[in-house]
Structure 1
Amino acid sequence: MEQKLIALDLDGTTLNEHSQISARTKQILQKASRNGHIVSIVTGRPYRISRDIYDSLGIKTPMINFNGGLGHIPHQTWNREYQDTFAREIALDLLAHKEKLGIKMMAAEAKNMLLANTADPGSADNFFPSILASTEVLNAKNLKTDPASVTMLVEQTAKEKIIAQLEQLYGTDLEIGVWGGPNPILELEPKGVTKEKGLRYLAQHFNISRKNIIAFGDEHNDAEMIDYAGWGVVMRNGTDQLKQIANDVTPLDNTQDGLANYLEEYLQLAE
């Protein structure tokens, strides 16, 4: 079989309902890697909360974070590393109007930066820091550089209204996305940044043709990646909208090792 580039979304796809990677999923992905295929994580998550998953897989491929905004090889200096950012003034403007917009909590970050307006001791998913030093508080003094991403916890009932307001205010500069987890979290990235951008970059780097890309996802922020891949696979638990553009849908969901079972069959990895 020709070498494949396997692009993996994390939440709702590679990870189970406990946001963990199961032993079986890990085993199949490592086997695919040993068989010469390129296994790469393409996630909306920041590096800080995807590093452990990357490390547990034991892969050495580039990882894409912030929905395509950051491409890097963890723990290495890579001369092809890139990071897209947007003007820090936008983050500060959001901060100044957060109550009016209905933003409860917000964080601005880049590969090696994390600032938040408030700590969240009850954050089960670590999306917002549980403790903050004075130098980690999001304000004009601490935000010295342009962020790659701004993440916001908003009022659930006002989510659609907030998205519409953000589109009106910043739509020409930003991509406005909804995080796929259980909480009403919005994420902002520079205009033109999508997972497709990261996937194209990987394919170019490894000289893999589009027909040899297989991508897995479950949510709206996977749409461009699923559409671009030669074989775009949506999880059984994925959105109906995404399933409409998929080449295939996994018979099992992310709580049943749906990705691992599909990949084992697709790559003919069974003994």
Structure 2
Amino acid sequence: MKFKLIALDLDGTTIDRRLYLSDANRDAVNDAIRQGSIVAIITGKMFAAALPFAERFQGAAYLFASNGANVYDIRLQQELISFPIRAEHLPQIIHTIEKHRALYRIYTRDAMFAAEESHLVDSIRRDYPDLPVFVGPIPLNKTYYKIFVQDDDAKLAAITQDLQGLPLQIHPSDNHNIEITNAQANKGEALRFLKQHLQIATENVLAIGNHDNDMPMFAEAGYAVAVANAPAYVQKRVHMVTRPCEENGVAFALAQLGICRMDSII
């Protein structure tokens, strides 16, 4: 099966919870690129955190960060489009999250902000030591692309309900979290834009992901693959379920579909 465009999620799909990219997954994606597939990394990660991972592939062409809020041509080193959270909605969003006493962090293109110290801040400092991190009152004069909220499910449901009237995308990307972006910043819109930009038909697109925020991307692909660690409701929406992320699921799927050499997964 030949696909001209491969849309690839990172966290929980291509890299594991330790942010580890296996040799097998890297080599399989590189082999697909050598054989002519265009690879687009479409991730919930903020731009500054995602770009170093995208650049570990030899020839990945596009990066869609913060679920498509930043659309970047890697080869041209040029941002194509961006969809920040609208500034007039920020006070209401932040007030709503803080009213429910939920933990959150908020991203510009290249820095992270948080209202207070927490494990959410500690994990960013640990995993991305070069990323600027600011803790304190959230400055409202910045351009923000995504808000990550993590807490118990009841709080997340209440926040989602309270923000229903705003033009936002709100998706879980893992257990006990939600990601808030501009209404136009979701992985499906990102992939639709890229198909039109490259004039590639839907049937020539493969998408591989693992969670709720990947389902809009699956809907824009001719063939959708979920790793086996994806929730059951996500697995039901795809054409193929591959091995778990920790067992080189991306490499296995590409090999099974004839996109890379089978020895890439060994």
Q: Same fold (TM over 0.5)?
A: yes
Aligned equivalents of 1:97, 1:247: Cα separation in 2: 38
Q: Kindly tell me: are residues 170 and 128 of structure 1, through their superposed partners in 2, closer, same or farther at Cα, counting changes over 3 Å?
A: farther
Matches within 5 A, 1:50-61: 50-61=50-61
Which stretch of structure 1 is more off in the superposition, 116-125 or 240-249? Answer: 116-125
Mapped contact 2:106–2:112 kept (Cα < 8 A):
yes
| Structure 2 residue 191 is the aligned partner of structure 1 residue 199 | yes
Supply the distance in 2 between the matched residues of 1:210 and 1:150 (Cα, whole angstroms): 30
Structure 1: segments with no counterpart, 5+ residues: none
Residue aligning to 1:46: 46
Indicate conservation of the 8 Å contact 1:9/1:43, yes or no.
Answer: yes
* 1:160-188 per-position Cα deviation (integer Å, ceiling 9, x unaligned): 343233333344321112232x6x33211
Change (3 A) 1:128 1:149: farther
Code of the aligned partner of 2:255: E
1:174 counterpart letter in structure 2: L
Q: Aligned in 2, Cα 1:168/1:21: closer, same or farther, shift over 3 Å?
A: same
CA RMSD, aligned part only? 2.9
User: Alpha-carbon deviation of 1:53?
Assistant: 1.0
2:13 equivalent to 1:19: no
Alpha carbons 2:83, 2:182 under 8 Å: kept: yes
Q: TM-score, normalised by structure 1?
A: 0.84
Query: Which deviates the most, 186-195 or 164-173?
Result: 164-173
Q: TM-score, normalised by structure 2?
A: 0.85
Q: Is the 8 A contact 2:125 2:131 kept in 1?
A: no
Assess if the C-alpha contact under 8 Å between 1:92 and 1:139 holds in 2.
no
Change in CA separation of 1:233 and 1:186 when aligned onto 2, cut-off 3 Å: same
Q: CA deviation at 1:259?
A: 1.2
CA distance in 2, matches of 1:256, 1:132: 29
In the TM superposition, what whole-angstrom CA distance separates every residue of 1:10-68 from its partner, at most 9, and x where no partner exists?
11111134221101110111011011111111011111221221121132411111112
Q: CA deviation at 1:233?
A: 0.7
Choose the corresponding residue for 1:228, options 216, 220, 228: 220
Equivalent pair of 2:146/2:180 in contact (CA under 8 Å):
yes
Aligned residue pairs, count? 261
Give 2:208's aligned amino acid. Answer: F
